[in-house]
Amino acid sequence: TLRIGVLELQGDFLEHEAMLKQCDGDILTIPVKGKQDLDNIDGLVIPGGESTTIGRLIEEFDMLETIQKRGSQGLPMFGTCAGCILLAKDIVGRPTQTRLGLMNITVDRNAYGPQTESFETQVYSPRFKEKPLRAVLIRAPTIVRVESGVQILACKGSEKEPILVQEGNWLASTFHPELTDDKRIHLHFLDIVKAYKSSK
């Protein structure tokens, strides 16, 4: 059985847990609220929400180094929106914001404007080509730079902005697949987790 940790500090973790269950009824979702919860998981989901708040709570509960360490040992992680921001090495204009800083990407927070500028769009992805992805963007960041080792799995429209990227076992989207009924991104993450687990 796959044991998928879901960071339950703030944000839309319930939607991720529901989506994971829909992908595979045998999955165990493990609520991660403290360091000890990270011991026995095969992957970690970092939900959308408010990256400053989640980062602050990660520090307050003394989880930062443990998550970073598990990550650098190859633990698969999937961050959506705020989760993507937390995974990024660089955040435009926020040099001191707490982050995990694992992925070789730079993000620009709230780049599409305030909450009222949230929107949904169809995204074509060469990786998920059966049909376009439904990208729900809620006060989303943009990924303004990707560096070595990062694969771009989907871009938004003619702007060619990356909105779904992968670096090794880490996956990050600026949108929220957990708020749609499109399971493909979560299934892709579960494939990463399965490969990681069988290689251990």
Binding site for ligand GLN (CB under 6 A): 48-51, 81-82, 85, 109-110, 138-139
Under DSSP, the state recorded for 150 is: P
Adjacent-strand bridge partners of 70: none
Answer yes or no: 16 catalytic: no
Catalytic residue, chosen from 81, 84, 167, 186, is 81
Other Cβ atoms within 10 Å of 96 Cβ, number = 6
Q: Is the Cβ of residue 41 or residue 82 nearer to ligand GLN in the bound state?
A: 82
Catalytic residue, chosen from 167, 178, 186, 188, is 178
Q: Is the Cβ of residue 13 or residue 128 nearer to ligand GLN in the bound state?
A: 13
Catalytic residue, chosen from 8, 84, 155, 176, is 176
Q: Please count the residues of the chain.
A: 200
Half-sphere exposure of 114 (CA within 13 A, CB side): 1
Q: Is the dihedral of CA 11, 145, 104, 163 positive or negative?
A: positive
Q: Are 175 and 137 in contact (CB under 8 A)?
A: yes
Q: Is the Cβ of residue 2 or residue 103 nearer to ligand GLN in the bound state?
A: 103
Annotated binding residues? 49-51, 109, 138-139
Answer yes or no: 186 catalytic: no
> What amino acid is encoded at 171 in this protein?
L
* Distance set, CA 98 to CA 95, 177, 181 (Å): 9, 24, 31
- Least gap, CB of 11 to ligand GLN (angstroms): 6
- Least gap, CB of 71 to ligand GLN (angstroms): 19
- Least gap, CB of 90 to ligand GLN (angstroms): 14
> Catalytic positions, please?
81, 176, 178
